[in-house]
Chain A
Amino acid sequence: QKEVEQNSGPLSVPEGAIASLNCTYSDRGSQSFFWYRQYSGKSPELIMSIYSNGDKEDGRFTAQLNKASQYVSLLIRDSQPSDSATYLCAVHPNYGGSQGNLIFGKGTKLSVKP
């Protein structure tokens, strides 16, 4: 069973701080990794994708990937109350038949306090 694990939180940070969200996955052969943000009552929206080891930065967001440790993280700098949401980690597994599906973690709820 391919799994993606996240701390459910809630993770509470003060406005302006760095929020750090973590994710581990079980399929060592996974190649593609994604972070989705989901506001309460809304659908998931993609905020970051990463395919290679290292860091990928996009504005206030940085995704970090360590395939050897099977670990993905998302850093949000200068956190804003509008960042308060549930963050879903998703992984494209690498096994026979997995042509396009993603395995999602259950999400980490982030709360940014003004």
Chain B
Amino acid sequence: DAGVIQSPRHEVTEMGQEVTLRCKPISGHDYLFWYRQTMMRGLELLIYFNNNVPIDDSGMPEDRFSAKMPNASFSTLKIQPSEPRDSAVYFCASSLRGEALAKNIQYFGAGTRLSVL
């Protein structure tokens, strides 16, 4: 399996621009997670989906952030308008909930390094 695929790997944009990050989960996985990682705050969960349905978006910092999962093999995280404080590495991860006690092993993509100037 190719693993979790994220694009782009790097994104540099100017403040006020729209940014769209993309993720393809591992085939057959039913959970998809979006994280943001910074030195100050570590790895923060933004939102996660189960069977394409958003389950918990309480980590989304504000209305400028939105995420969609139109089908089982694709998700987007959009920031509009972007701000310098959004600069971070954004990871997508997927998992398959096992029948045994909450296996919940998450597999991460390579991440998108976002720089907002």
Q: Interface on A for B, CB 8 Å cutoff?
A: 31-32, 34, 42-46, 49, 51, 88, 90, 92, 97, 99-107
Contacts and interface: CB of A to CB of B under 8 A. Distances in A.
Interface secondary structure of A, over-half rule? loop
A46 B42 contact: no
Contacts, number: 61
Interface of B: 31, 33, 41-43, 45, 48, 50, 55-56, 91, 95, 97, 101-111
Contacts of A88: 43
Contact of A43 (B55, B91, B102): B91
A101 B42 contact: no
B110 A43 contact: yes
Nearest to A51: B101
A17 B111 CA distance: 32
Contact of B50 (A31, A100, A102): A100
B108 A104 contact: no
Given A32-B103, A88-B43, A103-B45, 5 more contacts: A32-B101, A43-B109, A46-B105, A51-B102, A100-B97
A3 B21 CA distance: 28
B62 to A, nearest CB: 19
